[in-house]
Structure 1
């Protein structure tokens, strides 16, 4: 435990604002269904762990050490995916099964129309489902990898490298596939995947609402997703 600390409550109070700052920074990059309170709660657990594990003779300050533990606890919460609606998890599994069934039965790639029919959906319902699943996957992955210092990445070396490779490959594939998109949609994807803007910031750059930016992003992704089958 932090040397000389008998009562941890004051130390927790002193660093509660740090927990909130880290939580809000991550929350900006997550779907709206993610509750900021859940991130803060996870961060407070990380802060408590930092108090218990910090050694006062370490070179790093307690604030630096605590920041790493706090963000790590929040990322663990995000990776578990508990915030995503269970219905969306079930739908994603059903979509994968339907695609496999069609390709095995027909011997060719499943079209959107075939997928909608297989799932008993209208074309519009299928389109919206794909948007929800795609946006949730990509946003979650971005949030997991966002703004992580080298020390934090090395602390989770078993999990992060494959995700880094996956994200790099995904971004490169999207850039290649986006060449035929309208200029506005190309710019949106460039801002999101290459420059690291979140949807709130992009909406301000485009002069539209955040929900509209989300729709534009989904439409752009939908146009290139046939070329990104390996990432589905």
Structure 2
């Protein structure tokens, strides 16, 4: 299938939004299916094996259609920029409805975040693996098993949501990209959060910082990052998980600032 050129894409959007043309809508959906497939390929490594690619694709398509319904073509932003977080959100929402994460895993996740936060406050720097293991009373083997157990979407993603006092939901990942589509009165707020996040990422250990950059900035999959860094996908997944928990631990102490 040939990707639509910008002029044809705009024409289809005009027909769909102005005239509610269902044929135009169907053509747009077909055009954006590869986008949904790409999103699925990025997150499937963090999803339990009982969910197939086709399962996630069907959830993502629901998110795509919802995004199309809500999209305002007059705002002048690319639909793909608008749609990707909503496709991901739809996939995660459907998975969460099945309540597949045991309470014991949620508890371990909170304990790991608390350990990173406590140690960083105490040491004034990012703790080493050995220091985290000691804080949790775990052996190295038990620690890496823990990283695998807590490797679930809501824990190991920058898609965390912050809710400012006005009630608007803000996706943390959006702060990495340009905020020119935000309302002017929110720009200072976004810039402040973006600055805090950037400084926190800069303090990550080198390999973890590189994984975050390649995954969120360059949009590579964990497998592709493994090829770049000459490490296994499992090792990249561990680095990604540690990076996110370091960020969560540090940002948890900054949350009052972020949402005030």
Do they fold alike, i.e. is TM over 0.5? yes
Deviation at 1:13, TM superposition (A): 1.0
The match for 1:89 is 106
1:38 aligns with 2:68: no
Q: Among residues 15, 18, 35, which one is paired with 2:28 in the alignment? A: 15
The answer as to whether partners of 2:67 and 2:86 remain within 8 angstroms in 1 is yes
Gaps of 5+ in 1: 179-185
> What CA distance in whole angstroms lies between the structure 1 residues aligned with 2:230 and 2:150?
26
Q: Among residues 125, 129, 137, which one is paired with 2:142 in the alignment? A: 125
RMSD: 4.9
Deviation at 1:31, TM superposition (A): 5.4
Gaps of 5+ in 2: 1-15, 48-55, 124-130, 160-171, 253-260
Q: Deviations over 1:71-125 (max 9, x none)?
A: 353355478696595234343235567x59x99xxxx888523523xxxx76533
The answer as to whether partners of 1:203 and 1:210 remain within 8 angstroms in 2 is yes
The TM-score, its normalising length taken from structure 1, stands at: 0.56
Please give the secondary structure, in 1, of the residue aligned with 2:19: coil
> What CA distance in whole angstroms lies between the structure 2 residues aligned with 1:80 and 1:169?
30
Please give the secondary structure, in 2, of the residue aligned with 1:140: coil
> What CA distance in whole angstroms lies between the structure 2 residues aligned with 1:15 and 1:144?
25
Q: 1:89 to 1:229 in 2, by over 3 A?
A: closer
The 5-angstrom pairing of residues 69-218 of structure 1 reads 69-71=82-84, 73-74=86-87, 76-77=89-90, 85-87=100-102, 88-95=105-112, 112-116=133-137, 124-130=141-147, 133=150, 139-141=156-158, 144-145=173-174, 148-154=177-183, 157=186, 164-174=194-204, 178=205, 186=206, 188-189=207-208, 191-195=210-214, 196-197=217-218, 198=220, 199-215=222-238, 217=239
Q: Deviations over 1:51-90 (max 9, x none)?
A: xx55xxx484xxx564454335335547869659523434
Please give the secondary structure, in 2, of the residue aligned with 1:128: helix
The answer as to whether partners of 2:62 and 2:90 remain within 8 angstroms in 1 is no
> What CA distance in whole angstroms lies between the structure 2 residues aligned with 1:140 and 1:228?
10
Deviation at 1:147, TM superposition (A): 7.6
Deviation at 1:16, TM superposition (A): 1.2
> What CA distance in whole angstroms lies between the structure 2 residues aligned with 1:126 and 1:204?
25
> What CA distance in whole angstroms lies between the structure 2 residues aligned with 1:150 and 1:16?
26
The match for 2:255 is none
Structure having the higher Rg = 1
> What CA distance in whole angstroms lies between the structure 1 residues aligned with 2:44 and 2:67?
22
> What CA distance in whole angstroms lies between the structure 1 residues aligned with 2:89 and 2:181?
12
Q: Deviations over 1:13-57 (max 9, x none)?
A: 11113432333444454352453432232111111233xx55xxx
Q: 1:30 to 1:11 in 2, by over 3 A?
A: same
